[in-house]
Amino acid sequence: MVKLEIVDVDVGDDYTEILCRDEAGYYYKFSTDPSKGKLLSLLVNDVYLPSNTIYELFINLVGAFNAYIHSIIIIDGYKDQAVVNIATGNEIQSIPISISDALILALLSNTDIYIKKQACLLEFENLEQYVWYRLLKELDLC
């Protein structure tokens, strides 16, 4: 796994793209709806004011049980799967969540974000169905 940081949030009328960079300088892009994108943009630009959103309530609930959000791990970028690791003493529990919700929780709780190296890679068996791959193969570039 490699550590990620959010570097930019591009919010449009009907889309939001979240740009992240890992420690090696590679970039990852995730999409979400504009309402979550606006919240992410406020958090990334440090202009968010606490307002008792569901995310803040979740963080407070976790804290009420003497636990904290240990880390966020992006499992699969194509299936929009991530987990929130909750630490209680010496034990860590994982809760499945969408990537955009996980990124919001990470920013609100100042938690590290990690990604599995395989999370955004295409499976080799499925490569043949992608137009760009067929084009590269036809041009003898791969």
Mean pLDDT of 32-36: 90
Using one digit for the tens of pLDDT, what is the confidence trace for 66-122?
999 999 999 988 788 999 999 998 899 999 999 999 999 999 999 999 998 766 654
In this prediction the pTM is: 0.79
Sign of CA dihedral 38, 35, 76, 89: positive
Angstrom distance (rounded) from CA 50 to CA 27: 29
Q: Which two tokens stand for residue 36?
A: 């979550």
Q: Which residue has the higher pLDDT, 16 or 137?
A: 16
Angstrom distance (rounded) from CA 20 to CA 3: 10
Angstrom distance (rounded) from CA 19 to CA 44: 11
Q: Which residues of 20-36 are buried (b: 16+ CB within 10 A; e: fewer)?
A: bebeeeeebebebeeeb
